[in-house]
Amino acid sequence: MTKEQLKLAMPHASVKNLDRAWLPLDQAMSKFQINNPARQQMFLAQLAHESGELRYTRELADGKAYDTRTDLGNTPAVDGDGELTKGRGYIQITGTTNYIACGKALGVDFMKYPEKLEEPYYAAMSAGWFWFSRGLNEMADVNTEAAFLRVSIKINGKNRKTGLPNHWLERLAYWSLAKVAFQKIK
């Protein structure tokens, strides 16, 4: 992936954030086999949404809502684990289970050093790890809107009212931008 492709996929990202993220994202994409246009386009579309076009590597909410989320590995008896393990990285790694598994895969104790996930290198690598560990490369290879929907649900879940991931139309718009980026520059 070129820096120009990243810029076209995330047109509102600042030059500073593009400069900081480009090489780590390129390395993560290589390491986690996000290595063809279909995979790269879907990956960048999801990151564009999840990170506000590389603006956020830490979730804006305080994370207290995650304190009792046992599905994330957090325990109701441990006050504050939701705040500690709130979304971080370009794809918003969330919860004790993900922090531990991602840390094991990347060789960093993210439970002890959660702020590491906010650094461009680990923000990118954790996104690549999440993508790869959920089998999203294979889903992306199908390269249809239905496949993009499945990828989006794996990342964000479903809204109970709509049955779609949150901000579905925004995710689709980012996917369109990423497709154009990879058509223009090869």
| Domain positions in the chain | 3-57+119-184, 64-118
Assess contact for 96 and 72: CB atoms under 8 A: yes
Provide the whole-model pTM. Answer: 0.94
Please identify, in words, the CATH class of the domain defined by 3-57+119-184.
mainly alpha
% of the chain with per-residue pLDDT over 90:
87
Q: Cα–Cα distances in Å, from 155 out to 8, 41, 53, 82, 134?
A: 22, 15, 16, 18, 9
Confidence of residue 74 (pLDDT cuts 50, 70, 90): confident
Please identify, in words, the CATH class of the domain defined by 64-118.
alpha beta
Least confident of 21-30, 67-76, 119-128: 67-76
pLDDT given at position 80: 82
